[in-house]
Chain A
Amino acid sequence: MSYIIVDGISKTFKVTKRNSGLKSALKSFFKREYVLIDAVKNISFEIEKGEIVGYIGPNGAGKSTTIKMLSGILLPTAGNIKVNGMNPFADRRKYVSNIGVVFGQRSQLAWDIPAEDTFDLLKDIYKLSDEKYEKNKSELVNLLDIGEIIKKPVRSLSLGQRMRCEIAASLLHDPKILFLDEPTIGLDAKSKKIVRDFILKINKERKVTVILTTHDMMDIDKLAKRIILIGKGQILYDGSLEKLKTKYGSYKKITINTKENISDIKLKGIISKEKIDNGYSFVIDSNIITISKFINYLSNRYSINDMDIDNEGIDDVILKLYQDYEI
């Protein structure tokens, strides 16, 4: 049996409809009108112990809602979740001592005092023994290189420093599952690297199962072997990143610098054409049309000043997925 089993969950939000103005404000106090919004519709997947899964999708697709249901914050409107035999919402208190959650945009550290004080509080909250706490703390402090940082008031830290403290705070109790909701949002390159290396390390050494949502495709590229793509509350793709790459990896991006007007090209294998500042940008599928054939075709008809050939990054692959599924 899988470690995490998500079976047909849905979440419907009741949102109060209200127009602006005093009159409607008064009206809404007495009689509310609701709109039902399906944030997540009938989602199912399973995750094995020790996996790193990237949970991706555009804004408003239902990522955070799913994470919140998985971490016991929200009760699904329908469907079942079983994690290690427990129901996150019903067995909340027992369940959450085995999970760590990092909300990238929400701090769990007290703002005005050093992070270390929050750590001490967490020790009490999770009822950790002195030895376990000290051992875990020093390990995390070393790995994340925050020895000095945790002694300063949190408000004086940079975003990257704070995020490292956040992650340490979420792992003090040695959880088996780690949920990361946009862990690298707004971080500089160095902090991103520290965070990513760290996630890989705890996954390998502590066998922590990691589920992360992100908009940064480099995160996915570096961390996740498997991705689940969600859009409009439904799962669109669930599988290996490699497979996705080979499917879309034959795509090449070719930028042509020309003053001429290129009309429609009647060749197979051209995925997209876009007019840019001083030329055009094409995406072609090199399995259908070779690059040389494509360039030959163009150079025979138009005068080309300059050109550039690029492999499509994972970013574009995902964008294309979004397009394919029209989300």
Chain B
Amino acid sequence: MFFESIKMNIKSQLEYKSSFIINSISQFFIFFTFYFMIIALFQKFNNIRGFTVYEVLLCFSIIQFGFAFTETFFRGIDRFEDLIIDGRLDRYLVRPRGILFQTLCSEIDLVKIFRIIQALIIMVIALIKLDITWNILKVMVLIFMMIASILIFFGLFVLTASYCFITVQGLEVKNLLTDGGKNLAQYPISIYRKGVVFVFTFIIPYGFINYYPLLYFLGKTNNILYLFSPFMVLLFLIPCLLSFKIGLKHYNSVGS
């Protein structure tokens, strides 16, 4: 069913060919500016709290990868308020499949796929320049980080989607959590103040998916626990999914 939906989605988006091409190109290039900013920053300073430019770029690209992946494939959840407002949620509720699953299938933002590719390119460049001594554990931690990065944004999207059940106004909260958090987590969180570090480690576990495993990956620590810290994201998913379930019970629908 997922692939059938994706197929349909792609068909729909390709109905408007020229708009698709222009958007894709602009998506691809606009986001390079972010990376240039980092590089420019490091022209001035050699390192930030002991992190070199490619270490930061790696950190950055993992978060960007997770975010771009979520935005591409989980767009339906990102735009959950639309689902409520235009009544599509009612439609999903009368179909014999899970709501989140149907929402996942509902929309794919094909254009943003270029941001995933871009993040991967940056990641590869950083990895080459970093001169990593590879072993199986390092491969594992990198994969864990990438998956956890996807899951954390998925969790955040679900959380804000649950908030839509209460009100479709005031979605600024969402931007604070996702965009704000994302921007912070793009850098190793040790460069921030204590309070910020606490929030983005124990409340929204950006630190666990990005900073700690990165330390292990870069050989800055040998503590094997750091390798498994991305699994903390699973704990984070529980309240997110639970709040969605509760939200659904309070769903009011909109008049027809």
Q: Tell me the A residues contacting B by CB distance below 8 Å.
A: 13-14, 16, 25, 28-29, 32, 60, 64-65, 68, 71-75, 92-94, 96-97, 99, 101, 103-106, 108, 110-113, 117-118, 120-121, 124-126, 153, 181-182
Contact = CB atoms under 8 A, between A and B. Distances in A.
A92 B93 contact: yes
B94 interface: yes
Contact of B1 (A71, A97, A124): A124
Nearest to B248: A75
Nearest to B16: A112
A112 B94 CA distance: 22
Contact of A110 (B8, B98, B252): B8
B-side binding surface: helix, strand, loop or mixed? loop
Given A64-B256, A68-B253, A113-B8, A96 B94 contact: yes
Contact of A93 (B11, B97, B169, B256): B97
A250 B167 CA distance: 51
Interface of B: 1, 4-5, 8, 11-12, 15, 86-88, 90-91, 93-98, 102, 167, 169-170, 249, 251-253, 255-256
Contacts, number: 84
Contacts of B87: 103, 106
A121 B1 contact: yes
A312 to B, nearest CB: 29
Contacts of A94: 96
Contact of B96 (A93, A101, A110): A93
30 contacts: A13-B252, A28-B169, A29-B169, A29-B170, A64-B255, A68-B90, A71-B94, A73-B90, A73-B94, A74-B253, A75-B249, A75-B251, A93-B97, A94-B96, A96-B94, A97-B96, A99-B94, A106-B88, A106-B91, A110-B8, A111-B12, A112-B11, A113-B8, A113-B12, A113-B15, A118-B8, A121-B5, A124-B1, A125-B1, A125-B102
B11 A113 contact: yes
